[in-house]
Amino acid sequence: MSHDHSHHDMSTSERVAAARATCEAAGERFTALRAHVFELIIEDGGAVKAYDLLDRLSPEVGSPKPPTVYRALDFLSKLGLVHRVEALNAFIACDHGHSGHLAEFFICEACEKVEERHAHDHADCKPDGFQIDRSVVEHYGTCGKCAA
């Protein structure tokens, strides 16, 4: 899988450090909980549901209640560090090292595997004066493995 500006070949700690830098550049705090949630999503490697994250949170970081985890996910998603995959009501770590890109997801309806691609062509068709902060395009179908 090759992407421009991909974080895919970075270690988890490098990706967390890059996320911390993104947060600080935006004038936000990258709290221990936010870092831990982001780390869990990276380590999952796919789209993960909030309640699965709740089960995996380390007791050392406290025992966050669902609203706390949703706030962390909302924060990470506003900064473009994770994307919400609407169809699965799940979250996936962004595979690109910059904000404002258009995320395009290919979702297998059989195994729920999600693959991210960077969409380049949709920005040209926006209305005059419209400022895109973030976009998500979801395609549903069957992955090569399930189709075989």
Domain ranges of the chain: 12-93, 102-147
Is 42's pLDDT higher than 90?
A: yes
How long, in residues, is the chain? Answer: 148
Report the distance separating Cα 27 and Cα 48, nearest Å: 27
Tens of pLDDT, residue by residue over 51-74, are 889 888 877 766 678 888 899 999
Q: Which own/partner pairs from 96-99 qualify as long-range (CB within 8 Å, at least 24 positions apart)?
A: 96/3, 96/4, 96/5, 96/6, 96/7, 97/5, 97/6, 97/7, 97/18, 98/5, 99/22, 99/134
Can you give the pLDDT at residue 94?
A: 82
Q: Which residue has the tokens 């998603």?
A: 77
How far apart CA 57 and CA 123 sit, in angstroms, is: 37
E strand intervals along the chain: 82-85, 90-93, 102-108, 114-119, 135-141
pLDDT at 128: 85
Query: Any idea which residue has 């380590």 for tokens?
Result: 43
pLDDT in tens, 97-123: 555 567 788 889 899 888 887 766 566
- What pLDDT sits at residue 58? 72
- What is the pLDDT, as a whole number, of residue 23? 92
Model confidence, pTM: 0.75
Kindly state which CATH superfamily the domain 102-147 is placed in: Ferric-uptake regulator, C-terminal dimerisarion domain (3.30.1490.190)
The pLDDT value recorded for residue 19 is 92
Q: Which fold has domain 12-93?
A: Arc Repressor Mutant, subunit A (1.10.10)
Instruction: Supply the pLDDT for residue 4.
Output: 39
